[in-house]
A = this chain, B = another copy of it.
Amino acid sequence: MGAQERQQKEKLILEASIKLFTEKGYQSTKMEDVAKASKISKGLTYFYYKNKEDLYMAVTKKAFDELKDVFRDVIKIKGRNGLDMLTELSNNYFKFAKSNRMYYEAILNFMGLVQQYNDESLRSTIDPLVLESDHFKKLLEVHHDCGKIGTQMVVQGIKDGSIRPELQAEATFYTIWAMLVGYERLLGPVGYEGKDAKINLETWKPSFNRLLQDMLKGTFQAQKVQPVQGSLF
């Protein structure tokens, strides 16, 4: 069994656990279940993955890769301006979060993990095996890649004139991404309680696109027009 076949088997376990995590959630999925679904013994899963969380990190890696594909798919279509790209990215981002809940949850969990890591007083509460794992390092890279691609869209927009040139591309993109992350998280609870709630992801989407336009083009309806020196960032 060469390295290839080993990867094959790893993949098998990974896919089984993705299926199970999606169906029953991380907590409710037992390592025994994963083993059974992969048609191997429980012990063997620990040969391929250090522990359950390591396996989850592998799943998270897969999730973030797929999110990166969303970014890629948007930028690879030529003949559109940057603003249109960012608009479509936003729509697709929400679509992704909605139709791949388990994946998206994993991605947010990862972001939380890094927060924890950045806080020295909490760092020790993280499973060391997770931090050592390749998956974790690669995840930071993929995250970064997404930032790069998004930033590229802003750069493109500035070039083609669909985005005002004073904006600093990277900061602008992360602002947009922050809004996406925040809204997705925030609107669940808001939409829940009051059935009468006017705000939810669907009704809010057009408003968001409008905000994006105004922010990036600077077409806000100013109360008093008093041009501001320097860039937004």
Interface residues of A (CB under 8 A from B): 24-25, 27-28, 101-102, 105, 108, 110-112, 114-119, 121-122, 125, 140-141, 143-144, 147, 161, 164-166, 170-171, 174-175, 177-194, 198-199, 204, 207, 210-211, 214-215, 217-228, 231-233
Chain B residues, CB < 8 A from A24:
125
Q: How far is the CB of A214 from chain B (nearest CB, A)?
A: 6
Closest to A168 in B: B207
Tell me which of B101, B144, B220 contacts A119 (CB under 8 A): B101
Q: A182 with B177: in contact, given A101-B122, A228-B221 (CB under 8 Å)?
A: yes
Contact A232 B220 (CB under 8 A): yes
Q: Which interface residue of A191, A210, A220 has the most chain B CB atoms within 10 A?
A: A220
Q: A186 with B174: in contact, given A220-B222, A221-B228 (CB under 8 Å)?
A: yes
Contact A112 B105 (CB under 8 A): yes
Chain B residues, CB < 8 A from A144:
189-190, 193-194
Q: Which 5 A-B pairs have the closest CB atoms?
A: A182-B182, A178-B182, A25-B125, A181-B182, A218-B222
Chain B residues, CB < 8 A from A101:
115-116, 119, 121-122
Contact B147 A190 (CB under 8 A): yes
Contact A166 B221 (CB under 8 A): yes
Contact A192 B122 (CB under 8 A): no
How far is A224 from B164 in the complex, measured between Cα atoms in Å? Answer: 9
How far is A108 from B181 in the complex, measured between Cα atoms in Å? Answer: 12
Contact A223 B217 (CB under 8 A): yes
Tell me which of B27, B175, B185 contacts A211 (CB under 8 A): B175
Q: A210 with B190: in contact, given A170-B198, A185-B108 (CB under 8 Å)?
A: no
How far is A226 from B218 in the complex, measured between Cα atoms in Å? Answer: 9
Contact A220 B214 (CB under 8 A): yes
Tell me which of B141, B199, B231 contacts A171 (CB under 8 A): B199
How far is A110 from B165 in the complex, measured between Cα atoms in Å? Answer: 40
Contact B204 A232 (CB under 8 A): no
Contact B221 A218 (CB under 8 A): yes
Q: A192 with B140: in contact, given A178-B183, A179-B178, A211-B232 (CB under 8 Å)?
A: yes
Chain B residues, CB < 8 A from A214:
220, 228, 232
Contact A233 B220 (CB under 8 A): no
